[in-house]
Structure 1
Amino acid sequence: MKIGFIGLGNVGGKLSGSLLRNGVDLMVYDLNETLIAGKVAEGADAAENPAQLMRDCDAVITCLPSPAASDAVLHEMLPEITPGKIWMEMSTTDEAEVKRLGAMVIARGGAAVDCPVSGGCHRADTGNISIFAGCDRATFDRILPLLTTMGRRILHTGDIGSASVLKVITNYLATANLITCSEALVTAKAAGMDLNTAYEAIKISSGTSFVHETESQVILNGSRDISFTMDLVKKDIGLFQEVADRAGVPLEMNPLMIKIFDDAIARFGERELSPNIIKRLEEATGLDITAPGFPPEMSDDEPEEPGYEVIPQGSVRDRA
């Protein structure tokens, strides 16, 4: 199976690296020729454009920064989609949009999957990230070996679009936790607590979380480098708001979070690293929320292992 990969940025560069590291026959494309050259040096073939990628490959993965970018790329590939071809959308995108684009692929006899990742760039780099996949079961079974090469825990979420809904839900929760971790650390410092001790207290308590155990570390280091920026957070929680609005859910927390990030973007710029949301409180209090002994960026200390399908508790497959 020859695989195409479009979008070699922070996440896509790492996911495509996992494919190459594990011997997958890979062809790549990106607007940045330097990123293409890097993957060619690792063993990939280079495509001249997205259309060639779809023509020459069995499945094409897109990992792009916005729904608009995915739309543009898919329209370039659409004439080359024939029965048996697979489009795999690994971008964080809108449920309604991925359904719309997926319908075009299916109408031409291809298969469409939304399969976003979750777990941080450091886990994308080691093949230990989690992947959600929305598609029919037959397509899922066909692409499962590919997904388990890029990720550790693979969850079939249902029909196309379902994975994108769950992805923006998880990103909403992560953003809420980033804001609360920031408030907790600033309050700890203001109350006279040692920040190293405060970090450990939260880590070993009911207050811990994935976000605390990763992003709080780079906050305390001062690098604030989690390879994610404020404009991407704003996009993700905006997509979550759209899901809630379509479902008629009167959210209270998310509109406040959007307001907080709008303020931060106005102050620091949209490409500011997302953990620097804490700078709003650092400026308001005059406090420096850094401490010794924390890493400047996260690394995955789990060894790379074969991925596997996660079966939801209580599902028919769980009971089988």
Structure 2
Amino acid sequence: MSRKQIAIYGLGNMGYLVAERLARQFSLLVSDLDAAQTQRATRELDAIMIAQPQDVAQAEAVVLCLPSPSASRAVLEQIAPYLSPNHVVIETSTVNPADVQACERMLAASGARIIDASILAGVSQMQAGTATLLLGGDAAAIEACRPALDAIAAKQIHFGPVGAGAAAKVINNAVAHAVMIVVAEAGSMATASGVSCEKLIGLLSDPQMGLHRPLTHRYAERVVQGNYEGGMPLEAARKDSTLALQLAHSLGVPLFAIQGSHTVYEIAAAAGYGRDDYAAIAKLWADWGRPAVPD
């Protein structure tokens, strides 16, 4: 019995690894602007090159693993007329929710469905089979392409409607990139003040210390529950932040993320939250009409 077919557009560093995992269970139709990558897939994965847009009609699902939202839209503009209500497009590219929702509108006439399955992993994690898919979309559409999703990554988290998985990845990456700057600043301060970087890493990675507690205690237990009584007063956190700025200045270490963060404590203190637990900075977003958590 012939194997079911999956079409995949995009055979870059991540896309080719996705294709490798899919090829273990499916026959592949492949397309990439780099002809060498397409030829490699036909040779190594026994894939069939997509010669014309209508070729995708025979596939069970279409996987997009492309470098930009515009690339995804360009592909869908070509293939949408050949898709049917039986098709599900799996958007694994890193995009914003509005991009996936725009693609959903493009597919409306065909009846094809789209889900976002953002890949939370680096190349090494995909190779090792430890990647996570952050899913957004209708549960029925997700179940319809479950075999393909399971082939890509066993660990999956469904965040909500179309675009929610994409949003979760962008937010995760934003946190990671912002924390990278904070950690670089902290490391520079440590080096300049003679603090062992190895011991600093041990300190910050302790579950009760700097990197963990803001998430696992102050956000999860205070912000989410709206509990700002007791704890470390915001005024005390503001004082500690001031000390950090003074230390950096005395060491000649430029600060960007930590300096910017201090501004929030100043605003929160001026708003009258000085005696609340310092997690009360989250109330500023509610004051600005964008609550930190749903009501």
Structure 1 CA distance, aligned partners of 2:181 and 2:195? 19
Give the TM-score taking structure 1 as reference length: 0.60
Contact 1:15–1:127 (CA<8 Å) still a contact in 2?
no
TM (norm. structure 2) is 0.65
Q: Which moved more, 1:58-67 or 1:105-114?
A: 105-114
Shift of residue 129 of structure 1?
0.9
Match of 2:62 in 1: 60
- Flag the 1:203–1:10 CA change in 2: closer, same or farther, 3 A: farther
Cα distance in structure 2, aligned partners of 1:37 and 1:5: 14
Flag the 1:74–1:204 CA change in 2: closer, same or farther, 3 A.
same
What's the CA shift for 1:18?
A: 1.8
Max Rg structure: 2
Is 2:35 the partner of 1:70? no
Distance 2:204 2:43 in 1: 43
Measure how far apart 1:66 and its partner are.
Answer: 1.1
Identify the residue that residue 250 of structure 1 maps to in structure 2.
none
The aligned runs of 1:3-152 (5 Å cut-off) are 3-20=6-23, 22-49=24-51, 51-152=53-154
Partners of 1:167 and 1:200 in 2: CA distance: 27
CA offsets 1:240-276 (integer angstroms, 9 cap, x no match): xxxxxxxxxxxxxxxxxxxxxxxxxxxxxxxxxxxxx
Does the C-alpha gap of structure 1 residues 48 and 3 become closer, same or farther in structure 2, counting only changes over 3 Å?
A: closer
CA distance in 2, matches of 1:52, 1:127: 32
Retained in 1: the 8 A contact 2:29–2:50? Answer: no
Q: Distance in 2 between matches of 1:88 and 1:97?
A: 13
Could you tell me how far apart the structure 1 residues matched to 2:126 and 2:154 are? 10
Aligned residue number for residue 255 of structure 1: none
1:190 match: 192
Structure 2 counterpart of 1:184, one-letter code: A
Quick one: distance in 1 between partners of 2:121 and 2:211? 16
Within 5 Å, give how 1:231-270 maps onto structure 2.
none
Check the 8 A contact 1:78/1:105 in 2, yes or no. yes
Question: Structure 1: which 4+ aligned runs deviate by more than 4 Å?
Answer: none
Counterpart code for 2:158: H
Superposed, 1:146-225 pairs within 5 Å as 146-205=148-207, 206-208=209-211
Q: 1:48: Cα distance to partner?
A: 3.6
How many Å separate the matches in 2 of 1:134 and 1:50? 29
- In structure 2, give the amino acid aligned to 1:168: V
RMSD (CA atoms): 2.3
User: CA shift at 1:165, angstroms?
Assistant: 1.8
Do 2:29 and 2:56's aligned partners in 1 also have CA atoms closer than 8 Å?
Answer: no
Query: How has the CA–CA distance of structure 1 residues 186 and 80 changed in structure 2, closer, same or farther, with 3 Å as cutoff?
Result: same
Taking the aligned partners of 2:33 and 2:61, their CA distance within structure 1 comes to: 20
Identity of aligned residues (%): 28
| Structure 1 pair 152–14 and aligned structure 2 pair: CA distance change class (3 A) | same
- Structure 1 residues 94, 62: closer, same or farther in 2, change over 3 A? same
**1:57-113 CA deviation, whole Å, 9 max, x = no partner?**
111101111111111111111121123011111111121221121122232121111
